[in-house]
Amino acid sequence: MNIENPYLALYDASGALKGVLVSPEMWTALEPHALKILGETETEPELPEPMADLETLLSFWDFKYPYSAEARCETCGAATTDWRADEPRKFRLATATLAGMVTLTCSHCKTRIIHRHFKDRVTVETKPYCEQKDPKLNAVYGDKRQYFT
C-alpha cells in the first residue's frame, strides 16, 4: 500500500481473492458506507431451545423442593411466573444440565439468568449482556494467561 494505491488485494495460492487491506485514510472515507451495507445483512435465526435437556433434568428431579419456572431479569425488570408458558416469550432457555443448572436469556436485553439448583436451595445469578468481551480476559494456555492489548 502506498499513496498512489491506497488498498492491497489479498489472494490465496490458487489466485482467489480473499480480502482487501485499505489505508487508514481510505477506511475513513469508506467506513460509513461499509457499515451501512453490513448493517443490512440478515441476522442469523435463533437456535432452538434445548427443551429436551430441561425435560431430562425434570424427569430426574430429586431435590427437596419443587421446580419453579419463575424468572426475573434484574437488568431490565422483566419477570414471569412461568417462563415456559409466556407468549411472546420473555425468556428463552439457553442451557439446562442434569447437574441442576438452568440458564435463561432475557428476550428484551439479552441478560443471562443462571439458576443453580442444589439439593436444599437455588441460587440465581444475573449476568448483563456484553457486546464485546474484555480484552484483558483472553485465552489461558497452561498456567499462562495471554494478553493481547
pLDDT digits (tens, 9 = 90+) for 3-45: 678 888 899 999 999 998 988 888 888 888 888 887 765 566 7
Torsion on CA atoms 8, 12, 17, 23, rounded to nearest 10? -20
Among residues 104, 67, 76, which one has the least CA distance to residue 89?
104
Look at the pTM and tell me if it is higher than 0.95.
no
What mean pLDDT comes out for the span 97-122?
93
